[in-house]
Amino acid sequence: MDRLTKEFQSKFQDHCIYDKTVFENIDPKVKLHDQTKENPLSSAAACLNVLGSLMNKPAELLTFLNHFGLEIEMLYEFPSDAKVGCRSYADKGYVVFEWVGPQESPINEKGGGRGFNRTSIDAYVLAKINGKITQLLIEWKFTEGKSAALAMAKFSGFKGNERLRRYSDILATLRGKDDFPFRFQEEKGIGLFDFSVDHLYQLMRMTLLAKMTTPISIGNYTIEDYRIVHLSHSMNKETEIMYEKYLQFSPGLKKYAGKKLYEVWSDILSPYEQERFRYGHWDEAIKDIEDEELREYLTIRY
């Protein structure tokens, strides 16, 4: 049976979160998704069940993350009560959920907070990679596209106009630099408007947030590099393929119709950015978890 269906996941309705003590490690100011604790189809719940269950087990967490080719040398425990650009983070452990960066958005987003009206990263980890303190910005997908339709017009209407101004201003500041993130040309080809479909829109915002917060100080750590990590479920083909129906508002991407999301995104990225992008299927890395009870729960469920 398809594990991404409501029929299958309803079996876990009364045990949606494997270890509820995970919430004790999350800053109480964070606004978790409304259905995190109740909806077994929730991606946030799946992320907490895996990364949340490993957030105080650095050796197992490192092994799990290195399944995706990150080549992590060591992990750093997040410095609880650290200030990041005047924003306090009262989180504990090796994973921070709903990360937004500093108090004032470095990508021009107004208002909001952790988990609402800001680009909030599903899971955030500090690691040593190639001898550098590196921030990992992790996007976690479970049933999106199957349990709910993907948004495809992020740059349409009044709100869309606001978004275009917000992010185009950031890209304008990066123009001409060696580390400009995307393969944009002067006039033709791919442009910001092509990121209208939800999963590309998310990857674009993550990339800009990572770039604009590197370097940054967190407690005694100075962030020197970053990785964007996009993890999905191997059974969810709705977000794995760039179907033609997704590209009606993305004229520059029409040529990619039918291709895999990760191949498309990698081709859009500049060479500098390609080196900082990792992806994979989180359900396939469950086998690497040593905790037998946790591994059994995750294997049966996901």
Q: What is the pLDDT of residues 39-53, one digit of tens each?
A: 999 999 999 999 999
Amino acid residing at 249? F
Q: Is residue 172 very low, low, confident or very high in pLDDT (cuts 50, 70, 90)?
A: very high
Helix, coil or strand: residue 64:
helix
Comparing 237 with 98, the larger pLDDT belongs to 98
Q: What is the pLDDT of residues 75-127, one digit of tens each?
A: 999 999 999 999 999 999 999 999 999 999 999 999 999 999 999 999 999 99
Q: Which residue has the tokens 């200030």?
A: 83
- 191 within 8 A of 251, measured Cβ to Cβ: no
Q: Is residue 151 very low, low, confident or very high in pLDDT (cuts 50, 70, 90)?
A: confident
Torsion sign over Cα 230, 233, 235, 237: negative
The pTM of the whole model exceeds 0.85: yes
Amino acid residing at 224? E
